[in-house]
């Protein structure tokens, strides 16, 4: 009983709080308070704050007051970005496989795997022999390989091959300048060299898709475009490439800047090539450079 009486007295005992002015100690106001009243006021204050917070978490202000909301939003963004990264990774893999197949056809190699693996990679004994990973060429690919494996490139007339397909097509001039080296396939020079002013822009000769935009030790910055009618244009020794693989370009659109990159160059110029079904064409027969 003594403990209960002491607790009750402690809760109900009132204390007087007086507020005075500092300079003359005059009383401004006073009020009495007890521990029981302070506890009740504290509980009421916490209840009001909790209720207000609960209301705010259900309104447009919940992003500042509801931690679960922010966590949910961040999780959704992470999942969305993950899907985007997966999609981009798949698209890049498909473009790499397409580019590898195009390069294989141009160079005359067979057995290109859609995932970019060569026959040497596929002959790895660690792979399961029961799974056929060798890429089967399509009928179109076989016909292209057949056509050019039976023809003599040194004596064949590339213009005669291409006349029926795009002889009347208008090609933009990639760059205006002075021709310093002509088409000489017997000397392994499969294009023409054009010298022009410094920082002169290089333009696409026709509509197409960029299938190669890279750097090589011999030719420096190189860009290649796949056009219609199985025509490919190649631009070498650039100082800057302005397009990337997969970009769609229009005829006359700027794709690079003339340069002097690569080991096989003796000065600033553009080396330009035209290829039709794996056969080099003389660009002078189709384009005027001066």
Q: Would you write out the chain's pLDDT as a tens digit for each of its 290 residues?
A: 577 777 777 777 777 777 888 777 777 777 777 777 788 888 888 888 887 777 766 665 666 656 666 677 778 888 888 888 888 888 888 888 877 777 766 655 554 444 444 444 444 444 444 434 344 555 655 555 565 455 454 433 433 344 445 555 688 999 999 999 999 999 999 999 999 998 899 999 999 999 999 999 989 999 999 998 889 999 999 999 999 999 999 999 999 999 999 988 888 999 999 999 889 999 998 898 87
Neighbours of 162 (CB within 10 A): 21
Residue 182: what pLDDT? 93
Q: What is the DSSP letter of 151?
A: S
Q: Judge contact between 189 and 206, C-beta under 8 A.
A: no
Helix axes 67-107, 139-149, angle to 10 degrees: 30
Query: What CA–CA distance (Å, rounded) separates 75 from 162?
Result: 56
Residue 147: what pLDDT? 56
For 47, what's the count of Cα atoms within 13 Å in the CB-facing half-sphere? 6
Residue 156: what pLDDT? 38
| Phi, psi dihedral angles at 6 (to 5 degrees) | -65, -40
CA 253 from centre of chain: 21
Closest by alpha carbon to 242, among 223, 259, 261, 219?
223
Query: What CA–CA distance (Å, rounded) separates 167 from 155?
Result: 20
Residue 178: what pLDDT? 93
Residue 3: what pLDDT? 79
Model-level pTM? Answer: 0.46
Residue 130: what pLDDT? 43
Bridge partners, 280 (sequence order)? 275
Residue 146: what pLDDT? 62
Sign of the CA dihedral 51, 56, 57, 58?
A: positive
The strand ranges marked E within 21-170 are 27-34
- Pull the structure tokens for residue 199: 């920082």
Neighbours of 220 (CB within 10 A): 21
Helix axes 2-12, 35-56, angle to 10 degrees: 70
Residues contacting 34, CB < 8 A, separation 6+: 11, 12, 13, 14, 15
């Amino acid at each position: 009983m003594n403990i209960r009486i002491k607790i009750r007295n402690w809760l109900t005992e009132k204390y007087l709080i007086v507020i005075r002015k500092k300079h003359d100690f005059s009383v401004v106001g006073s009020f009495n308070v007890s521990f029981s009243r302070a506890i009740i006021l504290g509980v009421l204050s916490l209840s009001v704050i909790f209720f207000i917070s609960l209301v705010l978490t259900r309104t447009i202000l919940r992003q500042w007051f509801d931690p679960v909301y922010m966590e949910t939003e961040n999780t959704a963004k992470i999942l969305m970005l993950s899907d985007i990264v997966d999609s981009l990774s798949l698209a890049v893999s498909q473009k790499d496989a397409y580019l590898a197949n195009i390069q294989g056809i141009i160079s005359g190699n067979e057995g290109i795997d859609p995932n970019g693996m060569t026959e040497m990679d596929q002959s790895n004994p660690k792979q399961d022999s029961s799974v056929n990973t060798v890429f089967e060429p399509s009928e179109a690919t076989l016909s292209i390989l057949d056509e050019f494996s039976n023809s003599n490139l040194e004596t064949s007339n590339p213009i005669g091959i291409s006349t029926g397909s795009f002889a009347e097509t208008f090609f933009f001039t990639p760059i205006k300048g002075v021709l310093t080296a002509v088409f000489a396939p017997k000397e392994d020079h499969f294009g023409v060299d054009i010298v022009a002013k410094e920082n002169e822009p290089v333009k696409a000769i026709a509509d197409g898709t960029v299938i190669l935009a890279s750097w090589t030790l011999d030719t420096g910055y190189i860009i290649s475009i796949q056009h219609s009618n199985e025509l490919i244009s190649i631009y070498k020794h650039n100082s800057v490439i302005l397009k990337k693989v997969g970009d769609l370009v229009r005829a006359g659109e700027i794709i690079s800047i003339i340069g002097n990159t690569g080991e096989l160059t003796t000065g600033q110029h553009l080396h330009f090539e035209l290829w039709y079904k794996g056969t080099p064409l003389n660009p002078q027969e189709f384009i005027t450079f001066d």
